[in-house]
Amino acid sequence: MALRHAVLAALLDEELSGYQLAKAFDLGVANFWHALPQQLYTELAKLEKDGLVTGREVVQDTRPNKRLFKVTEAGLAELERFAATANKPSFIRDDLLVTVQAADHVDTDEVIAQLTERAAFADAKIELFGGLLRQMRGDRSEEEFLRHGERIGPYLTCLRGLAFEEGNRDWCHRSAAILRERRTAHAQR
Amino acid sequence: MALRHAVLAALLDEELSGYQLAKAFDLGVANFWHALPQQLYTELAKLEKDGLVTGREVVQDTRPNKRLFKVTEAGLAELERFAATANKPSFIRDDLLVTVQAADHVDTDEVIAQLTERAAFADAKIELFGGLLRQMRGDRSEEEFLRHGERIGPYLTCLRGLAFEEGNRDWCHRSAAILRERRTAHAQR
DNA sequence: CCATGATAGTCAATTAAGTGACTAATCGCT
DNA sequence: AGCGATTAGTCACTTAATTGACTATCATGG
């Protein structure tokens, strides 16, 4: 029951439409919560029904009209309640790890290919997060920003995302290197 | 559709009962895939129906009887197929990150408490994974084991789990420290 | 001027995941 | 002798997540 809180947290900084929210969940927000557009539209409807967000119609002549949502007082209170109670440890579900777990029983070339692909994906994320961080802290140093910035939550989660992807990249490179070396060694026998 | 592959990957090394599998998914395996006992019993039944695993009844007199499952040839082929096609990037869903995202809008003490709790959890995991790694490599060095060990898949995934939890721990400590400092600075004004 | 892609969604249906309660045996402990 | 913990599950139910198809409008490139 935490998608709703992820949506509330994402709407704290700016009013967003369902569509924009979906974009956000595809980029930075996906860093702390993953969700598909469908879920977001559904969840926004529920949140509005429960009075945790309010939507307002914005008429556009160049684009289709949209509804921008913002968090209400009740929504903030709900987030507060959530912060005080929630603590399910995060769980991982990763196809790549499943594949590597089975590495000794499946085609090594495939595993190496998957690892390489994931490393590239991680690199893209690392660049993305690096850019987001620079943007958030502006001309301040990280230390300075974290000390005195007025909105550091997104910065902290982005730092975690960055470290996570760096971890992914390093592990992918190392694992691929090991598998390559073993393949070579095996071929030489 | 990857829980089935996670189960197959987990059953590669040893025959397990549903109950044992559930234990495993609560410990090490949870490192690459999270699932509840319910799901595992259900999935095992499906896998058996589809001929990807076979179960055999083991009569115990000291304990209730159990059914041990092992992967069939068809199961191995299915894993092979999976390894060659799957590549959904792993997604994160973490209550704690949602909380930290909202850190500037909710009670700082609560956020710090959650971070501290998670750091302790990460420490426990780090110890657990460290032990598992030692056990897997035996008296060999890591390098030696990874070069010549005959079953390195679980070792590699465990390494990722270890690095992940170390990342968690470090990030939790740093974030908590930053929030504590800001709280103090704010109080002094 | 037509196709493609971005914006901004909705509806229906299925699958996966999670919750809660319940059975049954044995072991250790008090 | 009885209580709780551990082993080894099953059944019913609800909620969350995913898949796929569909409707519009407008802008841009060829």
Residues A94-116 have pLDDT tens digits of: 999 999 999 999 999 999 999 99
* CB-based contacts of A174, cutoff 8 Å, min separation 6: none
Residue nearest to nucleotide C16 (CA to C1'): B1
CA torsion A60→A62→A66→A68, rounded to 10°? -70
Q: At A187, is the pLDDT very low, low, confident or very high (cuts 50, 70, 90)?
A: confident
Domain A3-85 has CATH 2.40.50.140: no
Q: How many CA atoms lie within 13 A of A93 on its CB side?
A: 16
Residue A103's Cβ-count burial label (10 Å; 0-12, 13-18, 19+) is buried
Residue B68 has φ and ψ, to the nearest 5°, of -95, 135
DSSP B103: G
Average pLDDT over residues A63-73: 93
What pLDDT was estimated at residue A95?
95
DSSP A93: B
Answer yes or no: is pLDDT of A48 > 80: yes
CB contact under 8 A, B152 and A93: no
**Number of A:B CB contacts under 8 A?**
231
Spatial distance between the Cα atoms of B165 and B158, rounded to a whole number of angstroms: 11
Q: How many CA atoms lie within 13 A of B53 on its CB side?
A: 31
Region of B71 on the Ramachandran plot (φ > 0 left; ψ -120 to 50 alpha; else beta): beta
Average pLDDT over residues A83-89: 86
Residues 49-88 of B with CB under 7 A from strand C: 61-64
Per-residue pLDDT of chain B (189 residues; tens, 9 = 90+): 899 999 999 999 999 999 999 999 987 677 899 999 999 999 999 999 999 999 999 888 878 889 999 999 999 999 999 999 978 888 889 999 999 999 999 999 999 999 999 999 999 999 999 999 999 999 999 999 999 999 999 999 999 999 999 999 999 999 999 999 999 987 766
B interface mutation test: which of A94, A162, A169 has the most B CBs within 10 A?
A94
Q: Select from B3, B39, B9, B5 the least CA-distant residue to B22.
A: B39
Spatial distance between the Cα atoms of A34 and B88, rounded to a whole number of angstroms: 12
Spatial distance between the Cα atoms of B78 and B56, rounded to a whole number of angstroms: 21
Helices B37-49 and B18-26 cross at an angle (nearest 10°) of 130
Identify which has the larger pLDDT, B187 or A82.
A82
Answer yes or no: is pLDDT of A127 > 80: yes
> CB-CB: which of B2, B152, B170 is closest to A103?
B152
User: What is the domain partition of chain A in residue ranges?
Assistant: 3-85, 95-188
CB contact under 8 A, B83 and A90: no
Answer yes or no: is pLDDT of A21 > 90: yes
| Per-chain mean pLDDT for chain A | 94
Structure tokens at A131: 């850019």
What pLDDT was estimated at residue A167?
98
Closest nucleotide (C1' vs CA) to A66 is C8
B134 touches strand C (CB under 7 A): no
Three-point CA angle B76, B78, B80, nearest 5°: 70
* Cβ neighbours of B90 in A, within 8 Å: 92-97
CB contact under 8 A, A80 and B107: yes
What pLDDT was estimated at residue B189?
60
Of A30-44, A129-143, B86-100, minimum mean pLDDT range: B86-100
CB contact under 8 A, B98 and A32: yes
Structure tokens at B143: 């390098």
What pLDDT was estimated at residue B28?
66
What pLDDT was estimated at residue B88?
84
Smallest Cα distance from A63 to chain B, Å: 31
CB contact under 8 A, A98 and B9: yes
B172 touches strand C (CB under 7 A): no
